[in-house]
Amino acid sequence: MPRANCYRRCAIAPALILLLAVAGNAPAQAQTWHGTIETDGAVQKVHNPDNPLQPPETVALTELWRLDGESDETPLGVVRAATADASGTVYLLDTQLKRVVVVAANGEVKGHIGREGDGPSEFRRPIGLLIDNAGNIGVVQNPPAKIALLKPDGESAGDRFLPDYGRGRRLVLRAAKMAAGRLYVTLARWSYDETGNTSYLNAVASLGDGDDQYVIHLEQRSRRTADNNLYTERERSRGMPWEWSVGPTGRVFTSPDFDAYEILVHDRDGDLVNIIDRPYEPWQREPAHVAELQALFDQSFAGRTRRGQPMTYEVSRTEQAIEELLARRDGTLWVLPSRGAYDQPPAALGTFDVFDENGRFTRQVTLLGEGGLDTDYFLFTRDLLIVVRNVRLDLGRNSENDDVAERPYEVICYQVP
């Protein structure tokens, strides 16, 4: 059975995905790239071939440390996000216990910082982690849309509330990342007209320190009529592109299309500069797996209504084309397609397509290690891969009060060479 990416997607939310820095270990080969580049005004469209420029590679990851929630002095609840500083210290966001666990580069748990509350640097609904320009640990929260800032020793560094954007119901912060000295966020908002139609506004935007006006890198608007209560997995009107990343120069990479292997690249100023694609056939789910997922969504939507009518959900027969986008500090982009995530042997964490700074498909790298996307969270930060093991989240379950959240979590930290 294919690995159940719906479990993973619900577990990591908008904030799941962080920066991966990986250096290749294969020697460069003098080969010819067989793609084409099309220029459309200021936009370069890079059409890649089926195969990479270099032969496929396999990399066995080195384990740096492992935490066991049952035996360590600092118990682990539900780890949903991670970030690391230049010294190798890792910060793990525990959304169940409402705190940030601090782990030294050698795997020693140094303690925890942060706490639940509504005061300065406190949080109730944490969704992500980042490190700001001053070296503060930022806990991303929604609602309200803010970054709760903590000094590395746990002292309060205040809060950063996001400026308003668009019109409608409250602003929703889905994810946040720091890159190139700026704060990058995904935002959502929706509004209703007098006839019950719903308008959705979603954006990837960025702010400099002290800015109160966003630079918009990608904006999507959509509308749902009052009589349409069918929601589908392919539909993305209620959320930003699930996969996005930001490179070291502030370029923003997004994959808005569920079915297409297509990546939009916007520069630091918000202009579209590249469209990267390659031929691709999405991974087909087995019928039994589709039925299993549909049953989970049916359970989640049971009893939910819109304008007095029941809401329903339709699961896709295929996986989305692109599962992860990971912008590296060396300017390359690592892409995990659905076949690279699910059509894999047990020892493989995933097979990534690697694109150079010009958008050319140059390498394909399989990472080996302990873990699987059906039961685990994969959290990339700097040159580390954090695997949170033994997670089984059913769609629609609340991590704060179900029996899954009561189980301890094993966390493995890998060095990605």
Separation of first and last alpha carbons in the chain: 30
Contact 150, 156 (CB under 8 A): yes
Q: Which two tokens stand for residue 355?
A: 């694109």
Are the beta carbons of 293 and 6 closer than 8 angstroms? yes
What is the H or E stretch that residue 103 is in?
strand 99-103
pLDDT of 241 reads 52
Can you give the pLDDT at residue 236?
Answer: 56
pLDDT of 221 reads: 87
- Encode 175-218 in three state secondary structure: EEEEECCEEEEEEEEEEECCCCCEEEEEEEEEECCCCCCCEEEE
Q: Tell me the DSSP string of 310-338.
A: E-EEE--SB--SEEEEEE-TTS-EEEEEH
State residue 346's pLDDT score. Answer: 83
The residue segments making up the domain with residue 387 are: 5-415
- Please tell me the pTM assigned to this model: 0.86
Helix, strand, coil distribution of the chain in percent, nearest 5 = 5, 45, 50
Q: Give 36's DSSP letter.
A: E
Q: What is the DSSP string of 109-135?
A: EEEEE--BSSSTT-BSSEEEEEE-TTS
Instruction: Give the separation between CA 278 and CA 297, rounded to whole angstroms.
Output: 31
Number of domains in the chain: 1
CATH number at residue 53: 2.120.10.30
Peptide bond into 163 cis (omega under 30): no
pLDDT tens for each residue of the chain, 417 residues long: 344 444 333 333 333 333 333 334 444 446 899 999 999 999 999 999 999 999 999 999 999 999 986 665 777 888 999 999 999 999 999 999 999 999 999 999 999 999 999 999 999 999 999 999 999 999 999 988 999 999 999 999 999 999 998 776 778 899 999 999 999 999 988 888 888 888 888 899 999 998 999 999 999 888 888 888 888 888 754 445 568 999 999 999 999 888 999 999 999 999 999 999 999 998 999 999 899 989 988 998 899 888 888 999 999 999 999 988 999 888 999 999 999 988 888 889 999 999 999 999 999 999 999 887 767 888 889 889 999 887 644 333 334 444 444 444 689 999 987
According to the model, what pLDDT value does residue 26 have?
45
